[in-house]
Chains A and B, each alone.
Chain A
Amino acid sequence: MTERTRGRSHRPVVTGIGVAAPNGLGTQSYWSATLDGKSGLGRITRFDSERYPVRVAGEVSEFDDTEHVPSRLAVQTDHWSHLGLTAADMALRDAGIDAGDLPEYEMAVVTASSSGGTEFGQREIEKLWSQGPEYVGVYQSIAWFYAATTGQISIRYGMRGPCGVLCTEQAGGLDVAAQARRLLRQEATLVVTGGTDASLCPYGLVAQISTGMLSPRDDPERAYLPFDADACGYVPGEGGAMLVVENEATARARDARPYGVIAGYGATFDPRPVPGEEPRYNLHRAITLALEEAEVTPDQVDVVFADALGVPERDLAEAQAISAVFGPHGVPVTAPKTMTGRLYAGGSALDMATALLAIRDGVIPPTVGVRAAAPACELDLVRSAARDGPVRKALVLARGHGGFNAALLVTAP
């Protein structure tokens, strides 16, 4: 059953957004920086990266773990959860939700995570090696694992409905929104969703470097250039976004102002690579599924937020998937993640939030750094400066390492 046949009152709408991004902490701060093309990429400061092959990242520099997270909660959670808890709190305030007023079993939490609590884990592993097992803190048992952010949000606000975590790397932020939608069709009336990641510690970074897809460049302005002929990999970042999702009827009944509707979603997997054969990708089909479900034709889509890996062969594959549906240069494409780095699970959640802000304000944020799309990538890339124009339907794409593809269409309320 499509959303449309269920009627408008059952459409899942986003009523709250909270952002913790390298170029802005808080939705307004992030959004104005993004429209201005202000990047949050720079040399890594969280540890001495001099001897690592990757030295540029997107750090949420304004963030202070002790200032933004209550002390009792801060000691038992990783930096990635701190960012998630902070973004969730912002999103709930933005939505005008006081969790204490709502039935506890009707509130659900589903977040995405790719790395779990690596920084916390590294600290405890170091204690294990250098001092001994009795020095390993008890909170390691609950801080590292992927569901920790979901669990702590659930506990903090007394949200005892169905909770979970999805680990599909960069696709996770979209996959959780789809799961949130599923829960709203069941017993949940409100879902806190989205995701963050923060793995800018030696242990976390080394695990990422093994993919061979991270940028080795030291110049933050030239390090992450998706679709550019000069692309050389991506820059990792930390942070993400949390969103509050409700049914439209619930939101309207309490006079909430929705940012937009989750109108369509498609998820596919890439086939396992066969040595000696060209890799095959199924992103194209994820896009088609999302549009079909929303009953939207390609010409009605105003902007595509690209996954934008920054790896030439994968950029071309994405450009081909977009062109196959929309035609060459057929739709404005943007990658504001050039200002944050790839935030993994947090990245697609942030793109979804950004798409909703683009709809609200009728403006497409730019892709920075890219001088010209590589000729083979037949894209109308929104470069350098934001582009005005009504944005009523925005498609967000995400590819997760290991073959996950997700496409999610958000539309004006």
Chain B
Amino acid sequence: MTTFTLDDMRRIMGGCAGVPETVDLTDDIGEVSFVELGYDSLAVLEMAARIQQQLGIRIPDDAVDEMKSPQAAVDYVNRRLAA
């Protein structure tokens, strides 16, 4: 079964929403909130759209509310993949 890792998430973040000046995406950022990292809600929406396309899964718009941090997003995506 495909799993979605934090590294996959890092690639999505940097690829579609850019890298904040004060952040190194290779750091231990899993539990840091997107807001603290410098990503606003629009950025998270964009990440969700790219994840949907790359993995062929459906992420409803309100699910973005659950994706507060990179790790939370990874956990959410893996739950969807397992469902």
Contacts and interface: CB of A to CB of B under 8 A. Distances in A.
Select the residue from A73, A135, A138, A141 with max chain B CB neighbours within 10 A.
Answer: A138
Contacts of A74: 18
A142 B39 CA distance: 15
A71 B52 contact: no
Contacts of A71: 14, 18-21
A72 B21 contact: yes
Nearest to A75: B18
B49 A138 contact: yes
A137 B21 contact: no
A135 B19 contact: no
A139 interface: yes
B46 interface: yes
A71 B39 CA distance: 12
B33 to A, nearest CB: 16
Interface in A132-165: 134-135, 137-139, 141-142
A138 B20 contact: no
Interface string B35-55: 000110011011001001100
Nearest to A72: B18
A71 B37 CA distance: 13
Contact of A73 (B18, B39, B42, B45): B18
A138 B52 contact: no
Contacts, number: 39
B57 interface: no
A134 B53 contact: yes
A138 B45 CA distance: 7
Contact of A72 (B20, B45, B49): B20
B18 A135 contact: no
Nearest to A73: B18
A70 B14 CA distance: 12
Contact of B42 (A70, A134, A138): A138
Given A70-B21, A72-B21, A72-B38, A135 B53 contact: yes
B17 interface: yes
Contacts of B43: 72
B52 A72 contact: no
B20 A139 contact: no
Please report whether the interface of chain B is mostly helix, strand, loop or mixed according to DSSP. helix
Contacts of A70: 18, 20-21
Contacts of A73: 18
Interface residues of B, number: 16
A262 B60 CA distance: 53
Contacts of A141: 42
Contact of B19 (A72, A134, A137, A139): A72
Contacts of B16: 75, 137
A134 B19 CA distance: 23
Interface string A110-147: 00000000000000000000000011011101100000
A72 B53 contact: no
A76 B45 CA distance: 13
Contacts of B18: 70-76
A137 B38 contact: no
Nearest to B42: A138
Contact of A138 (B14, B46, B53): B46
Contact of A139 (B21, B38, B46, B53): B46
A71 to B, nearest CB: 4
A74 B17 CA distance: 9
Nearest to B37: A72
B23 to A, nearest CB: 9
A70 B23 CA distance: 12
Contacts of A72: 17-21, 38-39, 43
Interface in A56-86: 70-76
A74 B16 CA distance: 10
A137 B49 contact: yes
B17 A75 contact: yes
A196 B19 CA distance: 25
Lowest 9 CB-CB distances: which A-B pairs, in order? A71-B18, A72-B18, A75-B18, A71-B19, A138-B46, A138-B45, A72-B20, A138-B42, A70-B21
Given A72-B19, A137-B49, A138-B49, 15 more contacts: A71-B14, A71-B18, A71-B20, A72-B17, A72-B20, A72-B38, A74-B18, A75-B16, A75-B17, A135-B49, A135-B53, A137-B16, A138-B42, A138-B46, A139-B46
15 contacts: A70-B20, A71-B19, A71-B20, A72-B18, A72-B20, A72-B21, A72-B38, A72-B39, A73-B18, A75-B16, A75-B17, A75-B18, A135-B53, A137-B16, A138-B49
